[in-house]
Amino acid sequence: QVQLVESGGGLVQPGGSLRLSCAASGRDFSRNAMGWYRQAPGKQREWVAIITSGGRTNYRDSVQGRFTISRGNASNTVYLQMTSLKPEDTAVYYCNVFPAVISWGQGTQVTVSS
């Protein structure tokens, strides 16, 4: 059974940092592009960062220069390093393949507030 498990969220002050982790299981994801997505209250889920199987990355404009997506040594792990966090980054963060076609995990809550 394919499963996505996100972790690493929490409450952080503006300007702070967090590192999110995603553990994907159930099959080999090494040939998939992987992405981080987020959903803020009252808003649609949006993609945040993408990494291809070859390591190329792409970011939405609002996080460019602040977030870094990477893949772990284990092919089924993906990370999102978030720095200079802003209140508008508050959301539940999810990982999935890109485009997202696998059932979503529970996500991890990121709250940026003073």
Task: Express each pLDDT in 8-64 by its tens digit.
Answer: 999 999 999 999 999 999 988 989 999 999 999 999 999 999 999 999 999 999 999
What is the rounded average pLDDT of the residues 74-89?
93
- Given a cut of 80, is residue 75 above it in pLDDT? no
Pairing of strands 10-12, 108-112: parallel
Residues 88-114 as b/e (b if ≥16 CB within 10 A, e otherwise) read ebbbbbbbbbbebebeebebbebebee
| Total Cβ atoms within 10 A of residue 14 | 13
Per-residue pLDDT band at 73 (split at 50, 70, 90) = confident
On the 0-12 / 13-18 / 19+ scale of CB atoms within 10 A, 43 is exposed
How much is the mean pLDDT over the chain? 95
Alpha-carbon span 92 to 54, nearest angstrom: 27
pLDDT band at 100 (very low <50, low <70, confident <90, very high): confident
Is the per-residue pLDDT at 3 higher than 90? Answer: yes
Q: Cα angle at 10 between 9 and 15, to 5 degrees? A: 100
